[in-house]
Amino acid sequence: MAQYDGSEIRRDYRTGFFSIIVPGRSQRPHELEEDRGAQDLSKCPFEPQNIEENLKIMHVGEPWEIMTIKNKFPELNGETPLDKKSGFLSSISGYGYNEVVIESPDHNLKLEDMDIKHLDKWLGVLIEREEQLYSRNYIKYVQIFRNFGADAGASIGHPHTQIMAWPIMIGNIKRRAKITSSYRLKKGSCIYEDAIKIEEPRRLYENGSFSSFAPFASRMTAESIIIPKRHVSSLIELSQKEREDLLDEFKRIISINKAIFGGHSYNILFYELKKNEDFHMHFEIYPRLSTLAGVELGQNVFVNTIEPEKYSQDFRARLESV
């Protein structure tokens, strides 16, 4: 039986990992399954005429070009902030916010085909929502991610990005912040700036303000990381030129991956922290070319069947031919 109103974040006493228990989420729509056959847009909840009025938060353009709504099926829907239980069965109420940024009224528009001007508005919306969510009580971390395709966990085919505002900083971001700080303490430098130099043999693409590469120990096949050359910890610190260079990276990586692997699902993950001197913002793109199986689940060790060196070589060959 649930201990709080709504969802709860539970910590596993065996591993220290966390899960969110979300009652009722299995009832959400699965429009993507239908997307694979004949497309029936009347069922898409992100079509302009289908968006429920009470979910709308803000939009850009008239008629709207980008629309932000509340997620109708939020993972974080707790009503009791800071309510926690410690001990063997430790947990905290899943208090927080889930928002969806619908990137275009056009169901079939792909991120790689959006122009930089439109994508810059999208980035502007993400920054604005993030600032808004950070200003609310009890919010410790705002996460941005984009799932594209059923194999990446997207249940709706219409292009969208998700924002989750968490009541505690846990998981990957906490681990990365900790490693970045301890590296600086030990070596006196920034681990991500050092990575840009050391990962040179696996470089994908470099422009004026960003560098991307296939990480040495990539977990996913054709995984990439995008790092700003300047030491910044969050999106809001980027100049206009840097914003455009980041979007250039996203577009190039996604379209070249598509050229190499054909149409596929992928996730874009944003790793940023507000007002953190040590942290160096970065982004990852994970093509979902294989499913997680026994080794991954049993050992939390990932099997990657294409050497990052080979992937980066193939990638650069495509880059030159563009």
Total interface residues for Zn ion by CB under 5 A? 9
Is residue 92 at the binding interface for Zn ion, with CB under 5 A as the rule?
no
Residues 229-288 that bind Zn ion (CB under 5 A): 231, 280
Q: Alpha-carbon distance 95 to 81, whole Å?
A: 5
Query: Under the criterion CB under 5 A, does residue 160 sit at the interface with Zn ion?
Result: no
Residue 190 burial (CB count, 10 A):
17
Residue 47 found at the interface with Zn ion (CB under 5 A): yes
Asked if residue 106 binds Zn ion (CB under 5 A), the reply is: no
Is 17 buried (19+), middle (13-18) or exposed (0-12) by CB count in 10 A? exposed
User: Using CB under 5 A, which of 152, 190, 236, 260 touches Zn ion?
Assistant: 190
> Which CB sits closer to Zn ion, 112 or 237?
237
Strand partners, 7: none
Phi/psi of residue 247, each to 5°?
-65, -35
Nearer residue to Zn ion within complex by CB, 156 or 253 = 156
Among 107, 110, 176, 184, binds Zn ion (CB under 5 A): 107
Residue 70 pairs with which residues in a beta bridge? 99
* Shortest reach from residue 228's CB to Zn ion, in Å: 8
Backbone angles phi, psi at 134, to 5 degrees: -65, -25
Q: Does 176 bind Zn ion (CB under 5 A)?
A: no
Near Zn ion by CB under 5 A: residue from 129, 158, 243, 252: 158
The one among 193, 237, 248, 296 contacting Zn ion by CB under 5 A? 193
- Other CB atoms within a 10 A radius of the CB of residue 44 amount to 20
Q: Which residue has the tokens 């997307």?
A: 35
If we measure between CA atoms, which residue out of 170, 149, 127 comes closest to residue 32?
149
**Least separation in angstroms between CB 54 and Zn ion:** 19
Query: Residue length, the chain?
Result: 322
State yes or no: residue 170 binds Zn ion (CB under 5 A).
no
**Tokens describing residue 319:** 């880059």
Query: Least Å distance between CB 189 and Zn ion?
Result: 8
Q: Which of 160, 158, 181 is nearest to 70 (CA)?
A: 160
Distance CA 316, CA 294 (A): 33
**Is residue 34 a contact point for Zn ion (CB under 5 A)?**
no
Choices 6-14, 85-93, 118-126, 183-191 (CB under 5 A): range interacting with Zn ion = 183-191
Least distance CB 162 / Zn ion (angstroms): 16
Answer yes or no whether residue 296 interacts with Zn ion by CB under 5 A.
no
| 44 binds Zn ion, rule: CB under 5 A | yes
- Taking alpha carbons only, the member of 272, 269, 288 closest to residue 225 is 269
The Cβ of residue 27 has, within 10 Å, a number of other Cβ atoms equal to 7
Q: How far is the CB of 211 from Zn ion (least distance, A)?
A: 12
Under the criterion CB under 5 A, does residue 174 sit at the interface with Zn ion? Answer: no
* Contacting residues toward Zn ion, per CB under 5 A: 44, 46-47, 107, 158, 190, 193, 231, 280
